[in-house]
Amino acid sequence: MSAGTDGARPDADAAGRRERKEDHVRLATAQWKGGTRTTEFDDLEFVHHALGGVSLPEVDLGVELFDRTVAAPFYINGMTGGTESTGRINQQLAIAARETGTAMGCGSVSIALEDESAADAFRVIRRENPDGLVMANIGVGRSVEDARRAVDLVGADALQVHVNAVQETVMPEGSPDFSSWLRGIEQIVAALEVPVLVKEVGFGLSARTLADLASIGVAWADVSGRGGTDFLAIENDRRPGRDYSYLTGFGQSAPAALLDARAHQGELGGMTLLASGGVRDPLDVVKALALGARAVGVAGSFLKAVVEGGPEGLVELIGSWQRHTRELAALLGARTAADLESTDLLVRGRLREFCTLRGID
């Protein structure tokens, strides 16, 4: 993730950046070991229609991502790279992506733009997965030139640009220098030859943010909401002296962000939405699709699987998610991912309260 290295402020030395990458993986993995957690996905409930299903062989959940079709409507979201151990994780994620036909992102490539010795931890992805859909990643605030270099270095089909204002605020090396962000994204979108996807890192994109992005030509956004990997907690744990734990719960969940976006669709200029943040299982995937996401990004759940079980463990998990998402679609009467938007989905609890307060029916 960015922090200073991506933002305008020159920051910590190379050793500090490497340490941060490894801290993020270690602390994120520890968070996902905590067993089942409650999220706002739990506030969504499908109405079961006992005669409403379709036959499993009729279901095809392949979706178009950028200019390509991927077999399943979920992907490995951007996470890591830049050190030997995080390079190994990228290698294992790339093997699992190749074996399962899953699209994947990587962590911020910025570290490798400043230090060539960090580059192989990203190049390994293309080496392992020459034909798959791969996204490079960079923090907002970097130049057009850096964005191009990141795409070239990874050999990527698309670029994720992450916006992480909350993290920059709480991170010791952060760079809370936000006023030029929108203009910076506009320049990258205008200049790059590959599609650009703007994403949060676990605090959600509001409808207003999405409308701002649409107004500068952004066609793809991942709302990446709260409820999963928690970078407030991670940054707190990295520097115990700087306690921002009172901010816990700041931001919007992915379901809230999707509902917000749907209510303001007219202002989003046909933007395609992806969703991530706290996706625990195939039911969460299907719920996000039902709320209008084209595809669903998964970071923490897949990181835990690959750290604990290597590429084989992740291949098995992704395979089971592919089967289960199709089974759930059949149960819900959806032949395609888009059909899921016609299911009856109830909104309860805190998510319902969010809708009421935002004036969403």
CA distance 187 to 50: 51
Confirm whether residue 224 is marked as ligand binding.
yes
Please report whether residue 7 would count as binding ligand FNR according to CB under 6 A. Answer: no
Confirm whether residue 297 is marked as ligand binding.
no
Query: To the nearest whole angstrom, how small is the minimum distance from the Cβ of residue 285 to ligand FNR?
Result: 11
Site for ligand FNR in 161-190 (CB under 6 A): 162
User: How many residues belong to the site for ligand FNR (CB under 6 A)?
Assistant: 28
DSSP string of 200-242, one letter each residue:
-SSS---HHHHHHHHHTT--EEE---BSSS-HHHHHHHH-TTS
Query: To the nearest whole angstrom, how small is the minimum distance from the Cβ of residue 198 to ligand FNR?
Result: 10
Q: CA 65, 28, 312, 35 torsion: positive or negative?
A: negative
Nearer to ligand FNR, 268 or 307 (CB): 307
Nearer to ligand FNR, 251 or 311 (CB): 251
Nearer to ligand FNR, 161 or 328 (CB): 161
Say if CB 222 and CB 202 are below 8 A apart.
Answer: no
Nearer to ligand FNR, 91 or 160 (CB): 160
Query: To the nearest whole angstrom, how small is the minimum distance from the Cβ of residue 77 to ligand FNR?
Result: 4
What is the pattern of x (binds ligand FNR, CB under 6 A) and - over residues 12-31?
A: ------------xx--x---
Please report whether residue 201 would count as binding ligand FNR according to CB under 6 A. Answer: yes
Residue 130, number of CB atoms within 10 A of its CB: 11
Say if CB 287 and CB 39 are below 8 A apart.
Answer: no
Say if CB 173 and CB 39 are below 8 A apart.
Answer: no
Nearer to ligand FNR, 59 or 164 (CB): 164
Please report whether residue 195 would count as binding ligand FNR according to CB under 6 A. Answer: no
Burial status of residue 298 (CB atoms within 10 A of its CB: 0-12, 13-18, 19 or more): buried
Query: To the nearest whole angstrom, how small is the minimum distance from the Cβ of residue 141 to ligand FNR?
Result: 13
CA distance 288 to 274: 9
Site for ligand FNR in 51-80 (CB under 6 A): 77-80
Say if CB 258 and CB 240 are below 8 A apart.
Answer: no
Confirm whether residue 136 is marked as ligand binding.
no
CA distance 251 to 205: 8
Helix pair 144-154, 181-191: axis angle to 10 deg: 50
What is the pattern of x (binds ligand FNR, CB under 6 A) and - over residues 286-325?
A: ------------xxxx-x----------------------
Confirm whether residue 280 is marked as ligand binding.
yes
Site for ligand FNR in 221-280 (CB under 6 A): 224, 228-229, 276-279
Site for ligand FNR in 146-165 (CB under 6 A): 160, 162
Residues ≥6 apart with Cβ < 8 Å to 221? 197, 198, 199, 205, 210, 213, 271, 272, 273, 274
Query: To the nearest whole angstrom, how small is the minimum distance from the Cβ of residue 254 to ligand FNR?
Result: 8
Residue with nearest beta carbon to ligand FNR? 228
Say if CB 258 and CB 223 are below 8 A apart.
Answer: yes
CA distance 315 to 95: 8
Closest CA to 86 of 163, 20, 42, 152: 20
Site for ligand FNR in 104-123 (CB under 6 A): 107-108
CA distance 57 to 15: 52
Place of tokens 């490798």: 112
Contact residues for ligand FNR (CB under 6 A)? 1, 24-25, 28, 77-80, 107-108, 137, 160, 162, 199, 201-202, 224, 228-229, 276-279, 298-301, 303
Please give the annotated binding residues for Mg(2+), written as ranges. Answer: 168
Please give the annotated binding residues for FMN, written as ranges. Answer: 78-80, 108, 137, 199, 224, 229, 278-280, 299-300
Please give the annotated binding residues for substrate, written as ranges. Answer: 20-21, 167
